[in-house]
Amino acid sequence: MKIINEIYDRTIEDEELKYLRNNTCLLDIETTGFSREINHIYMIGLARLEKDKIKVTLLFADKRSEEKDILIEFINYSKDVNCFISFNGLSFDFPFIKSRMNHNGIEYNYMEYEHLDIYKECKKLKDILCLGNLKQKTFESFLGIEREDSFDGGELIHQYKLYEKCNDEECYHNLITHNLEDVQGMVELLIILRYLHITDNIDNSTISEITNTNGEIVAKITTDYNIPKRFVVKSGFYYILFEKNIIKTILKPNSCTLKYYFDNYKNYVHLLNEDIIIPKQLLNDNNKNNAVPCKKSNCCIDVEGLYLPVFDKMLFEDEKLFKENLSSKETYVDISSKLNDSLYLKKYIIHIIKYRLN
């Protein structure tokens, strides 16, 4: 068994420090396969904050028979740990550790600790950030984190078997480098959690630089929240670029005719000769013979306007909402009279952002 200690020589950002204080430990394991029952743990990578530096400790089993040794060393290391940070640890690493502890006759309960599973927290970012998958290296690549290691955990199983058989130095280097960079990468990956909090204080942001050109509304929103890498959310109605603390938005309203459906259709009639809808109380001797009761499907008026989709009807409950037809699930607001209303545009843009990011 080997214990490798290294100091991760980089400046720790405030965003990282808030997660790493209070006896928090980062953890990543390497195994000889994916079965907890028959495969072994051959390395446990650990890291924690010591005097404003990250100290990385790798517990490495030179052969599978040393698995119990690294598990016992891990127990000793964890005695004063309050919280573990991992990447998919609650689904893979810790259940695997628990199973191998049981196999080796060691009592262990990982649920006694607090946990921050970066993978679990950030699953929804796959679609938001247009990531190809949810692997740790994919998140790192998005953030611009570079690695020497080119292997994944599965490919290293063969490397470990070669090392176990003949102490191959190149295999040993590959094994150590991979786990070391997994653990170090998690430190830098903590900043990805910022993307989960973009909307936290967004209602207090400011909107400026509103222009209306060729039917498109352009606006800039300034927030107090800074993200490390830019990303875009878009549809046929909007294009929203998030960059640092700025949100640049292009709204693309549709100029068309939609229908406004009246509530309580039984209170309205259709005047056939004029083809209009009026409330029953407006009937008189001159028009009552041309009136027929409205149906739910035709108790509406056509309105030309500039329309944008609504994703939170409660937010726009004081406004008229329009539809293509009665069965349409999509609803729209007419912004024809709101093109220079900065507060309204801010409200609308923020409602899109919350819909897409929350």
DSSP state string for 302-342:
EEEEEEEEES-GGGGTTS--BBSSTT---EEEE-TT-TT-H
**pTM to 2 decimals?**
0.88
Count other Cβ atoms within 10 Å, centred on residue 35.
11
3-state secondary structure of 158: helix
Span 229-264, pLDDT tens digits? 999 999 999 999 999 999 999 999 999 999 999 999
Q: Quick one: tokens of 50? A: 């010591």
Amino acid 164: pLDDT: 93
Measured on CA atoms in the order 132, 137, 143, 144, is the torsion positive or negative? negative
3-class DSSP state for residue 109? coil
Measured distance CA(208)–CA(212) in Å, rounded: 13
| Predicted pLDDT at 176 | 96
pLDDT tens digits, one per residue of 124-151:
999 999 999 999 999 999 999 998 888 8
Tell me the C-alpha distance between 121 and 88, whole Å.
9
Interior/surface letters 289-300, b for 16+ CB within 10 angstroms, e for the rest: eebeebeeeebb
Digitized pLDDT (tens) for each residue of the chain, 358 residues in all: 999 999 998 888 888 888 998 899 999 999 999 999 999 999 999 999 998 899 999 999 999 999 999 999 999 999 999 999 999 999 999 999 999 999 999 999 999 999 999 999 999 999 999 999 999 999 999 999 998 888 877 889 999 999 999 999 999 999 999 999 999 999 999 999 999 999 999 999 999 989 998 889 999 999 998 999 999 999 999 999 999 999 999 999 999 999 999 999 999 999 988 889 989 888 887 787 888 999 999 999 999 999 999 999 999 999 999 999 999 999 999 999 999 999 999 999 999 999 999 9
- Domains detected in the chain: 2-196 (3.30.420.10), 198-262+299-358 (no CATH)
